[in-house]
Amino acid sequence: MSRSGAVAAEGLDEGVAAHYGDPLREQRALAAGTAFVDHSQRGVVTVRGADRLSWLTTLSSQDVSRLTPGESPELLLLSLQGRIEYDAHIIDDGEAAWLLVEAAEAAPLAQWLDSMKFMLRVEIADRSAEWGVLASSVALPLDAPYWQDPWPGVVPGGYAYSDSEHHPGAERPWFEYLVQLSELGERADALQSSGFSQAGSLAAEALRLAAWRPRWGAEIDEKTIPHELDLMRTAVHLSKGCYKGQETVARVHNLGHPPRRLVFLQLDGSQHTMPAAGAPVLLGERTVGTLTSVAQHYEMGPIGLAVVKRNVDPDAELTIQDGDEAYVAAQEIIVATDAGQVVGRQSGFLRPVR
């Protein structure tokens, strides 16, 4: 925020710059791999101890029992009903597992993990006051541990609910570097000396939406199950042992359908404003979902992600109602309308477990 032209971000990115004076130029540079983003508002939780990886495996949706330095899984911690409570990006350096989360997740996650350790050899700490993240769409010349987003790949044990061959997320590599906050300015100066420019959080958000990438606190709410957001591809291992919420995950995947689905929205760009996240999504006069994120993309114009009811016609034109303003939006399928109920399927649109 001390950099020239910095304009403060709000919401999930409060504490860092939304942009530095030219959001679309910054977005182009970030997409081209010549810029980096300050994500120092992110939360960081560490789990140390000999039992850390096997313990996290028993608690979470992912198998990290054999995680080695350099690997980049994503894991979910679920409620008994299978709803997402925490979404963590995990790095292990051989001594500690580092969980990169949204700022609002860090303290309650550390507290919950501490309550679950019982007699195991693990130590949990919220390190958000000491550590943060610098991110980019390209590997940065930083001597620091990093998490590389597996999205939109299908990790071992995962399952894709959307078309992987033409997935726009394949055009968005993403790297999150763990840095000490006391060295943040020095690291940023070094990157700028190497030819990288700074981009704000608005640029990162627009590229995230274009890649159909869900985010905790935006697409994930108190009712979300992994199937609704296509998170089965990167954050769930369908063949691992028991964990809290597994029964719901297995039942919906094998025998049922998720009640909602994530969609990509291309908004009518004729208006000079954009709707706010949280605005209702309508089909005719009936509310069928919620706009979860919205951004101005440097090529596509206004875009958004929304969570809608599963049975909404995927070819229907939707309307976003924000106060007195109505915004027309065309939808693209992210999660298939027939997602789930895979028992007995031999082929089809959905990709099977690896």
pLDDT tens-digit readout, 25-67: 999 999 999 999 999 999 999 999 999 999 999 999 999 999 9
**Is pLDDT of 106 > 50?**
yes
Structural fold of domain 7-155+172-201 = Gyrase A; domain 2 (3.30.1360)
The answer for residues whose C-beta is within 8 angstroms of residue 256's C-beta and 6 or more apart is 340, 341
Q: Where are the domains of the chain?
A: 7-155+172-201
User: pLDDT confidence of 165, banded at 50, 70, 90?
Assistant: confident
Cβ atoms of 113 and 47 within 8 Å: the answer is: yes
Q: What's the pLDDT score for residue 351?
A: 57
User: What mean pLDDT is predicted for residues 331-345?
Assistant: 87
Please tell me the least confidently modeled range out of 96-105, 270-279, 295-304, 344-353. Answer: 344-353
- Tokens (6 digits) for 148: 């590389």
Cβ atoms of 243 and 297 within 8 Å: the answer is: no
Quick: pLDDT tens for 169-227: 999 999 999 999 999 999 999 999 999 999 999 999 999 999 999 999 999 999 999 99
Cβ atoms of 292 and 277 within 8 Å: the answer is: yes
User: By percentage, how much of the chain surpasses pLDDT 90?
Assistant: 91
CA distances to 25, 39, 98, 114, 265 from 220, rounded to whole Å, are 29, 19, 22, 24, 17
User: What mean pLDDT is predicted for residues 109-130?
Assistant: 96
Tokens 């960081």, residue? Answer: 44
Q: What's the pLDDT score for residue 269?
A: 87
Q: What's the pLDDT score for residue 348?
A: 45
Q: What's the pLDDT score for residue 164?
A: 79
DSSP state letters, 66-134? T--TT---EEEEE-TTS-EEEEEEEEE-SSEEEEEE-HHHHHHHHHHHHHT-TTSS-EEEE-TTTEEEE
Q: Is 176 annotated as a binding residue?
A: yes
User: pLDDT confidence of 241, banded at 50, 70, 90?
Assistant: confident
User: pLDDT confidence of 349, banded at 50, 70, 90?
Assistant: very low
What average pLDDT does the chain have? 95
Q: What's the pLDDT score for residue 162?
A: 87
* Strand, coil or helix: 22: coil
Q: What's the pLDDT score for residue 347?
A: 47
CA distance 29 to 36: 9
Q: What's the pLDDT score for residue 84?
A: 98
Quick: pLDDT tens for 290-336: 999 999 999 999 999 999 999 999 999 999 999 999 999 999 999 99
Global pTM?
Answer: 0.95
User: pLDDT confidence of 343, banded at 50, 70, 90?
Assistant: confident
